[in-house]
């Protein structure tokens, strides 16, 4: 438990009162419940009229859950649409606390970027852009920056050090931008942030947590800090990042959909969650002290995948904050917050595998004591984001079994007189069409509302490239989404099954750039959905052409998932669409200043300090290059060199790095005396006394790095 002085309950009046918050939540969830119950009873009545079958009972349970999720999502868009119509002044906005505020910030804040096997030049480029953007506001003195490395690749480790040093030299930012690499990366990203909080967190009121692909506008960051200073009850301030820099068809589809439909869902989410929001792991400002006191995550009972360390730590950290009386708000009106997305469907599903395991671990927590309703709802929605797929799969299987049984049993069905027929005189066909129409309306209503809003507002319409690119983009995104949905269903179902069977996921670095998925990789990755679609199609045709036609959107999506995955991964096709402004977004057509700063960032690159030169890359440069060696050694703590460690260093010199294990090389890189010893040896010893890899590196200094001019 935290100390008394850290409790927010008496620190300030709530920004939005508990009665009004409760009323909003009641209206929202009661509306969702009523619509779902009506639809479920309508289907039950339809089944009763057709004559109840054993499959109907399971289908009703699945429908109640799946339709509830559909109604929940659609009502986020509906409530968000009306919230937008009400106007900005009548909406609940935590950021209004920063309006009219001037003068320097009273507290200090940290900008922290955890990295894991990332491109160090691009990572430092994003730090440079944020640094310059905050500097332009005149409030740079209130911020420090931390690159928190968990990188395991030894060459990338050295590249990170040189990029950071160049960045600090070019910006004059030594003592303001810091770099730290953990020797052991326990508990992944949550452990990385936790290590920062324990080591440096006491010097800061709040920390802005970024991902390696995050960008944020400096003015917005300063305003977020002002809100945290003005409102003592605020624990976490989450922003809704926009996707940028999409080059493949897949990423362009994602960023177009998020940019067009996203504002509706964000406003609808804010309508009911208010101060009981969630934390998405990045692009959020966190108050350090309560985070330190309440958000130390325990290990779950048992082993992975359901036990062990919590992977989706962000939801849990927000839950702990809210349960202790701190408020977590969504700053929906922050415009300058950005991130990038996985470039292909395969990369997206690889990332989803980690999220799936992490979200399913929340089954341990959703019924825990002291958790408010909003927290339980966030955990529930996160869990059902993945459990919904196997439920949908099971629902479709039950429907197929029902159709097969009725087609091949040759028994006549005795219809029962149902309630709907008695009340409205609607036959079974009309009743089925009405339910189908209602479901499809809920499914496509968010797209329709967002499209109408964009078309009717000239500034929004122009920001997406005009009416024709917007219309074409909407149709194209809808068709591809229909094709992708069955593949996602099958893939998520496999993920859930593998987790249930006890297969835990590893911690791999995220692929942010690629030139497309190969046909062989797509065939290997999507073999199950494709085979499933072929077999299911045969069964559907044997049942009857009417049933096959009814199932065709699902079956076509499964069968075509390999070519769809390949073609949506292609950058050249994405660029072709971009030329005609199809799937374009406002940030693509009119790049924000911080994005332009990141595109132009070059401070991390300097030929005088470069660990990426041919024949002396990474680890080799840390031994051979005088400048790289001195930078690396400066960042190490001094230690005495044992005889065993001297022997390992000597073996590295004579037999080359490949003769050592990765752990031995890592240990050497942490030993300042060993690095100095090897550096002197490669320059002083005759070539016959050291491995050729070192002599080639030394020889490379005698050759021109730039091509001579005529």
2 pLDDT above the threshold of 50: no
Contacts of residue 158, defined as CB under 8 A and 6 or more positions apart, other chains included, come to 611, 618, 619, 621, 622, 628, 632, 669
> Cα angle vertex 413, ends 407, 415, to 5°?
140
What residues does 139 pair with on adjacent strands? none
493 pLDDT above the threshold of 60: yes
**What does the chain come to in residues?**
710
Contacts of residue 457, defined as CB under 8 A and 6 or more positions apart, other chains included, come to none
Q: What CATH number has the domain spanning 1-93+105-516+569-605?
A: 3.90.550.10
pLDDT at res. 477: 97
5 pLDDT above the threshold of 70: no
Q: Which of 51-55, 110-114, 609-613, 701-705 has the highest mean pLDDT?
A: 110-114
The pLDDT of 60-76, averaged and rounded, is 96
pLDDT tens by residue, 427-467: 777 888 899 999 999 999 999 999 999 999 999 999 999 99
pLDDT at res. 687: 87
Give the separation between CA 544 and CA 67, rounded to whole angstroms: 27
pLDDT tens by residue, 285-324: 999 999 999 988 877 777 777 777 888 888 999 999 999 9
- pLDDT band at residue 637 using 50, 70 and 90 as cut-offs: confident
614 pLDDT above the threshold of 90: no
pLDDT at res. 4: 40
pLDDT at res. 375: 92
Please state the φ and ψ torsions of residue 242, each to the nearest 5 degrees.
-95, 145
What residues does 339 pair with on adjacent strands? 243
pLDDT at res. 431: 81
Contacts of residue 116, defined as CB under 8 A and 6 or more positions apart, other chains included, come to 149, 150, 151, 152, 185, 189, 212, 507, 509
Q: What is the dihedral of CA 435, 551, 33, 277, to 10 degrees?
A: -140
- pLDDT band at residue 1 using 50, 70 and 90 as cut-offs: very low
Which one, of 536, 516, 523, lies nearest residue 562 by Cα? 523
pLDDT tens by residue, 509-530: 565 566 689 999 999 999 999 9
Range name among 7-16, 323-332, 382-391, 554-563 with the lowest pLDDT average = 7-16
Domain ranges of the chain: 1-93+105-516+569-605, 612-702
Give the separation between CA 295 and CA 187, rounded to whole angstroms: 14
| Dihedral sign computed on CA atoms, order 450, 452, 455, 460 | negative
* Percentage of residues in the chain having pLDDT higher than 90: 76
Q: What is the mean pLDDT of the chain?
A: 90
> Residues 162, 607: contact at Cβ < 8 Å?
no
678 pLDDT above the threshold of 60: yes
503 pLDDT above the threshold of 90: no
pLDDT tens by residue, 142-155: 999 999 999 999 99
Question: Rg for the chain (alpha carbons), in Å?
Answer: 29
Instruction: Using DSSP, state whether 287 is helix, strand or coil.
Output: strand
> Residues 311, 357: contact at Cβ < 8 Å?
yes
Give the separation between CA 631 and CA 234, rounded to whole angstroms: 40
Give the separation between CA 211 and CA 123, rounded to whole angstroms: 9
pLDDT at res. 184: 86
CA atoms within 13 A on the CB side of 40: 21
pLDDT at res. 166: 97
Give the separation between CA 573 and CA 560, rounded to whole angstroms: 18
Structure-token pair, residue 302: 């048992």
Greatest C-alpha distance within the chain: 101
- pLDDT band at residue 669 using 50, 70 and 90 as cut-offs: very high
Give the separation between CA 92 and CA 658, rounded to whole angstroms: 60
Structure-token pair, residue 409: 């049993």
pLDDT tens by residue, 156-207: 999 999 999 999 999 999 999 999 999 888 888 888 999 999 999 999 999 9
- pLDDT band at residue 120 using 50, 70 and 90 as cut-offs: very high
507 pLDDT above the threshold of 60: no
Please state the φ and ψ torsions of residue 145, each to the nearest 5 degrees.
-120, 140
Give the separation between CA 321 and CA 409, rounded to whole angstroms: 58
pLDDT at res. 432: 85
CA 105 vs CA 109, 226, 246, 367: distances in Å: 9, 7, 35, 40
8 pLDDT above the threshold of 90: no
- pLDDT band at residue 424 using 50, 70 and 90 as cut-offs: low
Give the separation between CA 611 and CA 153, rounded to whole angstroms: 14
pLDDT at res. 364: 85
Contacts of residue 470, defined as CB under 8 A and 6 or more positions apart, other chains included, come to 451, 454, 455, 461, 464
Give the separation between CA 357 and CA 496, rounded to whole angstroms: 8
> Residues 439, 70: contact at Cβ < 8 Å?
yes
CA atoms within 13 A on the CB side of 277: 28
> Residues 290, 110: contact at Cβ < 8 Å?
no
Give the separation between CA 228 and CA 95, rounded to whole angstroms: 10
pLDDT at res. 709: 59
Peptide bond into 659 cis (omega under 30): no
Residue 549: Cβ-neighbour burial (10 angstroms; 0-12, 13-18, 19+): exposed
CA 696 vs CA 351, 609, 614, 683, 701: distances in Å: 40, 19, 10, 11, 9
pLDDT at res. 706: 57
């Amino acid at each position: 438990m935290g100390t008394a002085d850290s409790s927010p309950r008496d620190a300030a009046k709530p920004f939005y009162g508990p009665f009004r918050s409760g009323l909003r939540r009641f209206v929202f969830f009661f509306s969702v419940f009523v619509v779902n119950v009506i639809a479920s009873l309508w289907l039950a009545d339809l089944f009763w009229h057709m004559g109840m079958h054993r499959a109907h009972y399971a289908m009703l349970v699945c429908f109640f859950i799946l339709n509830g999720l559909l109604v929940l999502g659609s009502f986020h868009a509906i409530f968000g649409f009306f919230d937008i119509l009400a106007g900005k002044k009548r909406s609940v906005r935590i950021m209004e606390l920063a309006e009219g505020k001037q003068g320097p910030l009273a507290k200090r804040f940290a900008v922290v970027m955890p990295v894991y096997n990332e491109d160090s030049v691009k990572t430092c480029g994003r730090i440079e852009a944020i640094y310059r953007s905050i500097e332009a506001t005149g409030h740079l003195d209130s911020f420090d920056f931390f690159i928190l490395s968990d990188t395991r690749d030894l060459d990338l480790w050295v590249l990170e050090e040189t990029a950071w040093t160049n960045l600090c030299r070019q910006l004059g930012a030594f003592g303001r931008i810091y770099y730290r690499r953990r020797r052991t990366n326990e508990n992944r990203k949550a452990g990385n942030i936790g290590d920062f909080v324990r080591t440096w967190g006491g010097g800061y009121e709040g920390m802005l947590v970024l991902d390696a692909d995050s960008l944020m506008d400096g003015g917005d960051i300063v305003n977020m800090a002002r809100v945290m200073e003005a409102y003592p009850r605020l624990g976490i301030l989450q922003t809704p990042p926009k996707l940028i820099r999409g080059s493949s068809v897949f990423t362009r589809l994602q960023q177009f959909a998020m940019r067009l439909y996203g504002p509706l869902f964000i406003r609808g989410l804010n309508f009911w969650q208010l101060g009981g929001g969630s934390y998405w792991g990045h692009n959020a400002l966190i108050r350090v002290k309560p985070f330190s006191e309440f958000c130390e995550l325990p290990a779950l009972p048992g082993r992975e995948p359901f036990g062990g360390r919590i992977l989706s730590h962000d939801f849990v950290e927000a839950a702990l904050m809210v349960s202790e009386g701190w408020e977590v708000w969504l700053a929906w009106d922050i415009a300058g917050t950005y991130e990038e997305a996985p470039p292909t469907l395969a990369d997206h599903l690889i990332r989803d595998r980690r999220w799936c395991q992490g979200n399913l671990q929340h089954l341990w927590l959703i019924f825990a004591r002291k958790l408010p309703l909003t927290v339980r709802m966030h955990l529930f929605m996160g869990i059902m984001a993945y459990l919904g797929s196997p439920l949908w799969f099971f629902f479709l299987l039950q429907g197929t079994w029902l159709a097969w049984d009725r087609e091949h049993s040759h028994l006549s069905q005795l219809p029962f007189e149902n309630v709907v027929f008695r009340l409205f005189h609607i036959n079974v066909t009309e009743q089925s069409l009405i339910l189908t129409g209602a479901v499809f309306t809920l499914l496509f209503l968010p797209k329709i509302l967002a499209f109408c809003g964009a078309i009717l507002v000239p500034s929004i319409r122009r920001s997406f490239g005009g009416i024709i690119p917007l219309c074409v983009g909407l149709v194209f995104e809808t068709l591809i989404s229909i094709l992708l949905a069955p593949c996602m269903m099958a893939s998520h179902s496999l993920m859930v099954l593998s987790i249930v069977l006890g297969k835990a996921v590893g911690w791999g670095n995220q692929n942010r750039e690629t030139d497309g998925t190969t046909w062989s990789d797509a065939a290997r990755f999507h073999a199950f959905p494709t085979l499933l679609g072929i077999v299911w199609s045969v069964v559907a045709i044997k049942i009857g052409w009417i049933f096959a036609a009814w199932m065709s959107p699902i079956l076509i999506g499964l069968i075509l998932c390999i070519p769809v995955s390949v073609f949506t991964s292609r950058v050249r096709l994405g660029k072709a669409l971009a030329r005609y402004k199809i799937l374009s977004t406002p940030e693509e057509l009119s790049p924000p200043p911080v994005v332009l700063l990141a595109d132009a960032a070059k401070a991390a690159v300097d030929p005088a300090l470069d660990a990426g030169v041919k024949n002396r890359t990474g680890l080799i440069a840390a031994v051979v290059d005088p400048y790289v060696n001195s930078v690396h050694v400066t960042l190490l703590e001094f230690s005495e060199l044992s005889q065993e460690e001297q022997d390992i260093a000597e073996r590295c010199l004579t037999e080359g790095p490949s003769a050592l294990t990765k752990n031995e090389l890592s240990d050497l890189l942490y030993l300042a005396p060993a690095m100095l010893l090897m550096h002197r040896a490669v320059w002083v010893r005759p070539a016959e006394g050291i491995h050729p890899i070192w002599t080639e590196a030394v020889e490379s200094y005698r050759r021109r790095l730039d091509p001579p001019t005529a």
